[in-house]
């Protein structure tokens, strides 16, 4: 068993790493400096390191010495930042305009490094192999798939993989493990309506793509509101609409472009949304005498915990942090995660780590006022260590 206080000597180091990473954020597949820090810390701890896995990913391998064992588990941290400009004004704020750790991946990396250092010093307490998976490009750039394509599971075999993400609003140091549904599928779609542009004063001489686009925005709301089981989550949002020229408001443009996102938790709902966006676009195009070109891109599958592995995370969190700091379920969220790609290959689970109420009222994920709460580093790292001691008990 391990308790957060056992890792207390590592807390200042983890905070230092976290703030250093925060000040030097790197976007997906550009995590050169970040990977450099990860490699240096792992090597210094005596952990076998493979760098350049999925371009900028790093895999550390640590073998327990308590007994001979074939079992291997993976612990994953993501390393990338977002293309946005930080507004926290903190001493460790981003030194790169247009790049920011606004999702707390700096904290995930520092926490897993802290756990790796502690586990390396306590390898006599477990049997089997830990793979520390430092993943690049989680933020919609395909880092998990890149690592898989680069042989993550063949070159570094593991039977199970676990993930952890910070969650503001959840009490500080609390681990919440969804029993099954964690995060939604995240897909994008686009539609182009094309008509015959004409003088705004003589609409009868053309066909109006603007009117078709307006009808489309209204009509697709029925996919969720009228066609999907009210007890089944689904989201269809329009995030982009463009047509015409603001300098020429008296012109009906020939073309209007729309784009948006779609989220679901079940394959059937996801399929339905995809089919209906195209069908509604075609129907509305026919109604208005224009054409519609629809495209739908599947980006991330839903992230769903394997219930037996979620229960293991709950057990490890309870042993490490105490029952008051653990929730054995959490409602699904409609964000997306490419951890789903790992779970499609090996079973595992994903947990939320509470970071408490944000210091800034707007300090939620992907907000320029976000900052990872360093007070969560210790319970987070201790939880990782507790999970390893439990899963690889001799
Ligand atoms: Zn994010
Ligand atoms: Zn994130």
Ligand in closest contact with the CA of 367: 1
CA 365–ligand 1 middle distance (angstroms): 6
Active site residue 16: no
- The pLDDT of 260-275, averaged and rounded, is 97
In contact, 340 and 183? CB cutoff 8 Å: yes
Give the E-state strand segments of the chain in sequence order: 48-53, 57-65, 72-78, 127-135, 160-167, 175-176, 181-183, 185-194, 198-199, 234-243, 251-252, 255-264, 291-300, 303-304, 326-327, 348-354
The dihedral sign for the CA sequence 141, 142, 146, 149: negative
- The pLDDT of 260-281, averaged and rounded, is 97
What's the confidence (pLDDT) of residue 140? Answer: 87
Ligand in closest contact with the CA of 164: 2
With a cut of 90, say whether residue 103 has pLDDT above it. Answer: yes
CA 175–ligand 2 middle distance (angstroms): 16
Share of the chain above pLDDT 70, in %: 100
With a cut of 90, say whether residue 345 has pLDDT above it. Answer: yes
In contact, 286 and 189? CB cutoff 8 Å: no
Ligand in closest contact with the CA of 366: 1
pLDDT tens for 189-244 read: 999 999 999 999 999 999 999 999 999 999 999 999 999 999 999 999 999 999 99
Q: Residue 130's Cα: distance from chain center in Å?
A: 22
CA 366–ligand 2 middle distance (angstroms): 8
pLDDT tens for 157-204 read: 999 999 999 999 999 999 999 999 999 999 999 999 999 999 999 999
In contact, 111 and 380? CB cutoff 8 Å: yes
Average predicted confidence (pLDDT) for the chain: 97
Distance CA 185, CA 267 (A): 9
- The pLDDT of 268-290, averaged and rounded, is 98
pLDDT tens for 33-85 read: 999 999 999 999 999 999 999 999 999 999 999 999 999 999 999 999 999 99
Ligand in closest contact with the CA of 139: 1
CA 105–ligand 2 middle distance (angstroms): 6
CA 95–ligand 2 middle distance (angstroms): 20
Q: What are phi and psi of 201, to 5 degrees?
A: -85, -10
Q: Which residues surround ligand 2, an ion (CB under 5 A)?
A: 103
Catalytic residue, from 80, 86, 187, 274: name it.
Answer: 80
Active site residue 391: no
pLDDT tens for 306-332 read: 999 999 999 999 999 999 999 999 999
What's the confidence (pLDDT) of residue 104? Answer: 98
pLDDT tens for 106-156 read: 999 999 999 999 999 999 999 999 999 999 999 988 999 999 999 999 999
CA 51–ligand 1 middle distance (angstroms): 23
**304-305-306-310 Cα dihedral, nearest 10 degrees:** -170
- The pLDDT of 365-370, averaged and rounded, is 97
CA 120–ligand 1 middle distance (angstroms): 29
Tell me the three state secondary structure of residue 358. coil
Distance CA 156, CA 223 (A): 43
- What does the block give as tokens for 327? 């929730």
CA 193–ligand 2 middle distance (angstroms): 34
CA 55–ligand 2 middle distance (angstroms): 19
Catalytic residue, from 26, 30, 138, 371: name it.
Answer: 138
């Amino acid at each position: 068993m391990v308790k957060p206080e056992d890792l207390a000597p590592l807390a200042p180091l983890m905070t230092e790493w976290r703030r250093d990473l925060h000040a030097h954020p790197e976007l997906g597949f550009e995590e050169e400096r970040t990977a450099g820090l990860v490699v240096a810390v792992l090597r210094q701890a005596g952990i076998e390191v493979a760098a350049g896995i999925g371009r900028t990913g790093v895999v550390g391998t640590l073998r327990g010495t308590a007994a001979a064992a074939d079992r291997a588990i993976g612990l994953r941290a993501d390393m990338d930042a977002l293309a946005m400009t930080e507004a926290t004004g903190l001493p460790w704020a981003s030194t790169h305009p247009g790049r920011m750790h606004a999702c707390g991946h700096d904290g995930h990396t520092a926490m897993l490094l802290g756990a790796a250092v502690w586990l390396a010093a306590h390898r006599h307490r477990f049997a089997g192999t830990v793979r520390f998976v430092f993943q690049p490009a989680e933020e919609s750039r395909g880092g998990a798939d890149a690592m898989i394509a680069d042989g993550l599971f063949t070159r570094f075999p593991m039977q199970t993989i676990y993930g952890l993400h910070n969650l503001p609003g959840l009490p500080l140091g609390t681990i919440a493990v969804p029993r099954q549904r964690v995060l939604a599928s995240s897909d994008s779609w686009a539609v182009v309506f094309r008509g015959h542009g004409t003088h705004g004063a003589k609409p009868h001489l053309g066909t109006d793509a603007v009117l078709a686009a307006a009808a489309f925005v209204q009509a697709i709301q029925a996919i969720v509101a009228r066609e999907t089981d009210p007890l089944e989550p689904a989201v269809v949002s329009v995030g982009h609409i463009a047509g015409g020229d603001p300098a020429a408001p008296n012109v009906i443009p020939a073309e209007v472009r729309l784009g948006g996102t779609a989220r679901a938790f079940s394959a059937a709902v996801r399929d339905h949304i995809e089919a209906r966006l195209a069908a509604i676009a075609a129907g509305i195009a026919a109604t208005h005498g224009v054409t519609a070109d629809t495209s739908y891109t599947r980006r991330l599958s839903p992230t769903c915990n394997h219930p037996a592995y979620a229960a293991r995370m709950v057990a490890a969190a309870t042993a490490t942090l105490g029952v008051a700091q653990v929730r054995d379920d959490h409602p699904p969220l409609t964000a997306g995660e490419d951890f789903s790609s790992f779970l499609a290959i090996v079973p595992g689970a994903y947990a939320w780590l509470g970071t408490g109420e944000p210091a800034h009222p707007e300090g939620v994920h992907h907000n320029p006022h976000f900052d990872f709460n360093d007070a969560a580093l210790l319970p987070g790292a201790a939880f990782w260590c507790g999970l390893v001691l439990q899963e690889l008990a001799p």
